[in-house]
Amino acid sequence: MQFLVNTNYDFMGKRNIALAVSAIATLIAIGSLIAHGGPKYSVDFTGGSFVEVRFDRPVDTADLRAAMTGIGLGGTEIQKVGTESDYIFRMPEAEVTAKTRELLQGEIANPYGLIEHAVKKQLPEVRSELRRQETVGPKIGSELRDRATKAVLVALVLMLVYIALRFPGLSFAVCAVIALFHDVILTIGVLSVLGKEVSLTVLAALLTIAGYSINDTIVVYDRIREELKAHRREPLDQVINRAVNLTLSRTMLTGLTTILSLIALLIFGGTVIHDFAFTLLIGVLWGTYSSVFVASALVVTWEKWRATREAGQQGRRRERQAARPA
């Protein structure tokens, strides 16, 4: 079984369309982020409590909201998850501490205890069970955010250095990192448009996407490097176009098998892994798209632009050589 063999699609000729699509998508992503005041951070980064509770019978979200308002925690975000009667509660940390002291006579913040207390008052017949609870103090939250930012920056710089060492000229390294930013920003954009939050797990997924994106880009770049050596006299855009076509079957096959695995994770993986798998799925879709349409197209655009600029200064004769990366 084979497909996409000996293709000769003119990806580079249509590169401006692809770049325009990416530019518009990026604008939408950034627009959504601005409109929502940045990514929606989870309690991991903001501090607060996240509680997942299973009730022994179907309950109404409105009743739960009334129950929480009844004990003075109206600011609690409530969301149904999964197929059973599972609910997620998100509460600000300071209020949990104050309410625990007041209602449960406890000195140590007890978010699940508060939910139990509220539900018992509003819906006396309903029994609940704690599935998971995460409480993060504001100090740890900001620390986790700092560490995460550091991790992302260090990873990016190291990958940039690696590519700059392995591939000719600066254009490849810079374009690979632009493609990577493209994939990550657009994935965050999709999360933002869908109102999903960025937690530590989602952050791990985003970093994985960065790795995947670089990986995909490198496969194409490797082929470009090889083709450049074999066909020294051909114009750059033709060489790159052939390289993209030659790797097309691999790009699609790998994308497909990865997506199959991720769909399995998404359907069967349970709530803990759901956000992780979802983020990866979106990222892999963008990553596959960008390795065909963005990463290589950018190199062509970059080198053409450099060629025309230098041609203006040094005459037409040197244009062909200038169109090759050093």
Partner 1 sequence: MGATTRWKLILVIAVFAIGAYYLWPTYNYYFRMTPEQQLAAKDMRGKIIHLGLDLLGGMHVVLEADLTEVPKDQAADALDRVVEILRNRVDQFGVAEPVIQKQGADRIVVDLAGVQDEAAVRNLIGSTARLEFRIVVPPAVANNVVTRLDRELALRGAGIDSADMRPFSGKFGVFYNAQYGVPTGAFVRDSDVPAVTGLLAQAKEAGIQMPEAEPLWELEPRTIANTPGRILQFVNRNVELSGDLVTNAERRFDLDYERPNAAGVSMTFSNRGATRFAQVTKANVGNHLAIVLDGVVRSSPVIRERIPGGRASITGSFSDQEALVLATVLRAGALPVNVKIAEERTVGPSLGRDSVHSSLVAAAWAAVATTLFMIFWYKGSGVLAVVAMVLQIFLLLAGLAALRGTLTVPGIAGIILTIGMAVDANVLIYERIREEIRNHKTVRAAIDSGYKRAVITIVDSNLTTLIAALVLFQYGTGPIKGFAVTLSIGLFANMLTAVLFTRMVFDLITSRRRLETLSI
- Ramachandran area for residue 163 (φ above 0: left; ψ -120 to 50: alpha; else beta): alpha
Q: Is 113 in the site for partner 1 (CB under 8 A)?
A: yes
Q: Is 253 in the site for partner 1 (CB under 8 A)?
A: yes
- Which of positions 191-210 make contact with partner 1 (CB under 8 A)? 200-201, 203-204, 207-208, 210
Amino acid at 88: I
Which is nearer to partner 1, 14 or 127 (by Cβ)?
Answer: 127
- Which of positions 222-241 make contact with partner 1 (CB under 8 A)? 222-223, 226
Closest CA to 287 of 12, 36, 22, 1: 22
Measured CA to CA, the distance from residue 77 to residue 135 in angstroms comes to 15
Q: Are 206 and 278 in contact (CB under 8 A)?
A: no
Give the nearest distance from C-beta 258 to partner 1 in angstroms.
5
Q: Is 110 in the site for partner 1 (CB under 8 A)?
A: yes
Q: Is 56 in the site for partner 1 (CB under 8 A)?
A: no
Give the nearest distance from C-beta 3 to partner 1 in angstroms.
9
Site size toward partner 1, by CB under 8 A: 77
Q: Determine which residue in the list 28, 30, 193, 219 makes contact with partner 1, applying CB under 8 A.
A: 219
- Which of positions 60-89 make contact with partner 1 (CB under 8 A)? none
| β strands within the chain, DSSP E | 48-55, 77-81, 86-91, 128-136
Give the nearest distance from C-beta 110 to partner 1 in angstroms.
6
Q: Is 311 in the site for partner 1 (CB under 8 A)?
A: no
Residue 97's CB is within 10 A of a number of other CB atoms, namely 19
Which is nearer to partner 1, 170 or 266 (by Cβ)?
Answer: 266
Q: Is 102 in the site for partner 1 (CB under 8 A)?
A: yes
Element (H, E) at 139: helix 138-166
State the distance between the two ends of the chain, measured CA to CA, in whole angstroms.
Answer: 40
Measured CA to CA, the distance from residue 145 to residue 143 in angstroms comes to 5
Which is nearer to partner 1, 204 or 311 (by Cβ)?
Answer: 204
The number of C-alpha atoms within 13 Å of 314 and in the hemisphere containing its C-beta is: 12
Give the nearest distance from C-beta 245 to partner 1 in angstroms.
11
Measured CA to CA, the distance from residue 207 to residue 290 in angstroms comes to 16
Per-residue binding letters, 256-295, with partner 1 (x by CB under 8 A): xxx-xx--xx-xxxxxxx--xx--x---------------
Which is nearer to partner 1, 6 or 313 (by Cβ)?
Answer: 6
Q: Are 287 and 186 in contact (CB under 8 A)?
A: no
Give the nearest distance from C-beta 119 to partner 1 in angstroms.
15
Give the nearest distance from C-beta 326 to partner 1 in angstroms.
20
Dihedrals phi, psi of 96, to nearest 5 degrees: -60, -45
Measured CA to CA, the distance from residue 300 to residue 293 in angstroms comes to 11
Measured CA to CA, the distance from residue 90 to residue 121 in angstroms comes to 19
Segment contacting partner 1 (CB under 8 A): 28-36, 97-105, 119-127, 187-195?
Answer: 97-105
Which is nearer to partner 1, 23 or 140 (by Cβ)?
Answer: 140
Q: Determine which residue in the list 12, 33, 73, 109 makes contact with partner 1, applying CB under 8 A.
A: 109
Per-residue binding letters, 124-163, with partner 1 (x by CB under 8 A): -----xxxxxxxxx-xx---x--xx-xx--xx--xx--xx
Residue 75 corresponds to which tokens in the numbers above?
């600011």
